Amino acid sequence: MDFLFVIILGGLWGSFANVCIYRLPLDKGVVSGRSYCPKCKNQINWKDNIPIISYFLLNGKCRKCKKKISPQYVLVEFLSILFFTIIYFLYGITSTTLLLIILSLSFIIIFFIDLKHFIIPNEITFSMMVLGFIKSFDPNLNSLFPNYINSLIGGLLGYGIIWSIIFFYKQVKKKEGMGLGDAKLFAVIGFWFGWIAIPFVIFISSVVALCSVIPSLIKKSKNMSSQIPFGPFIILGCILYVIFEEQYKNFLF
């Protein structure tokens, strides 16, 4: 029964994540008004808004206008359910579970917004920075999280390193490189997981991002100055850090 509750909760919050992904880049309130079809603007009935299930019952189309619904909606809901379930399985009913669920939901929203719009909303990064630092004062924290000193150092280091890269790139190339949204996202990771996570995430995200664009560079469909959304790679690097955190720390120390 607990797992069923977690699955339902994941689906519902995944549905909310979809609302955020659509509305935040448009500067629309995420809690104002019912959900509506982005194509015909008709409000969506509750029975057509059941996470994952409604998508397949409607054959991936809006009931009113019959236009296709983006599979992104069901993917976001699936990922939310997946993350919620894995986190609950690993940590049970604990404060760690609650914190990681909040962070994973924020990462899902950032991932898809940055992927499409090349922006990382301040509303999410600033909130996660504050929460990441506040939680570090809890003396009963899981060892995954740092104390408040390491959290503060991590947040400043995460932001400072990326800000420095942006600054020097602009001085040399006379144009913008990475965005400050990426620096804020690294600050989030630093506040949540401490300074020790920053080198790992920078290295992994950079390597994966480079590998992902190599085929496009070979085909010449992109060049070295082409814009790519770096946020998804940062998030992937952070997820891998959480997975291999123990092995990483044992390797260092």
Contact 30, 24 (CB under 8 A): yes
Query: What pLDDT score does 139 carry?
Result: 86
Residues 6+ apart with CB under 8 A from 107: 235, 238, 239
Q: Tell whether 141 is covered by a domain.
A: yes
CA distances to 18, 178, 242 from 129, in Å:
22, 20, 17
Examine the domain organization and report whether 32 and 71 are in the same domain: yes
118: three-class secondary structure by DSSP: coil
**Residue 28: domain span:** 1-93
Q: Tell whether 98 is covered by a domain.
A: no
71: three-class secondary structure by DSSP: coil
Examine the domain organization and report whether 86 and 127 are in the same domain: no
The number of domains in the chain is 2
Examine the domain organization and report whether 231 and 126 are in the same domain: yes
Examine the domain organization and report whether 148 and 197 are in the same domain: yes
Examine the domain organization and report whether 230 and 130 are in the same domain: yes
Q: Which residues of 55-78 are buried (b: 16+ CB within 10 A; e: fewer)?
A: beeeeeebbbeeeebeeebbbbbb
**Entry pTM:** 0.92
Examine the domain organization and report whether 186 and 72 are in the same domain: no
What averages of pLDDT result for each successive group of 10 residues across the chain (253 residues)?
88 94 87 76 80 88 85 95 96 94 97 95 96 94 94 97 87 74 96 97 94 78 71 96 93 82
> Which residue, 93, 112, 140, sits at the end of a domain?
93
- Least Cα distance to 153 among 182, 200, 195 occurs for 195
Query: What pLDDT score does 223 carry?
Result: 61
Q: Tell whether 200 is covered by a domain.
A: yes
Examine the domain organization and report whether 49 and 129 are in the same domain: no
Examine the domain organization and report whether 146 and 33 are in the same domain: no
Residue with tokens 């469909």: 221
